[in-house]
Amino acid sequence: MRKEDTFLDVVIHQNVGLPEELVMYETWLGTRNSWLRDEMPRSYRAEYEQELSKLLENRSVEWLTPVSHWSRE
Torsion of CA 13, 15, 19, 25, to 10 degrees: -30
pLDDT at 54: 86
Task: Of 18, 26, 16, give the one whose Cα is nearest residue 52.
Answer: 26
Number of domains making up the chain:
1
Q: Residues 6 or more apart from 28 whose CB is under 8 A from it?
A: 4, 6, 7, 8, 35, 39
Domain annotation covers residue 13: yes
Domain annotation covers residue 19: yes
Q: Give the pLDDT of the chain (73 residues) as one tens digit per residue.
A: 889 999 999 999 999 999 988 888 889 999 999 999 999 999 988 898 888 888 888 888 888 888 998 989 7
Domain annotation covers residue 36: yes
Segments forming the whole domain that contains residue 23: 7-55
Task: Of 46, 27, 30, 50, give the one whose Cα is nearest residue 38.
Answer: 30
Domain annotation covers residue 11: yes
pLDDT at 2: 86
Domain annotation covers residue 66: no
pLDDT at 18: 94
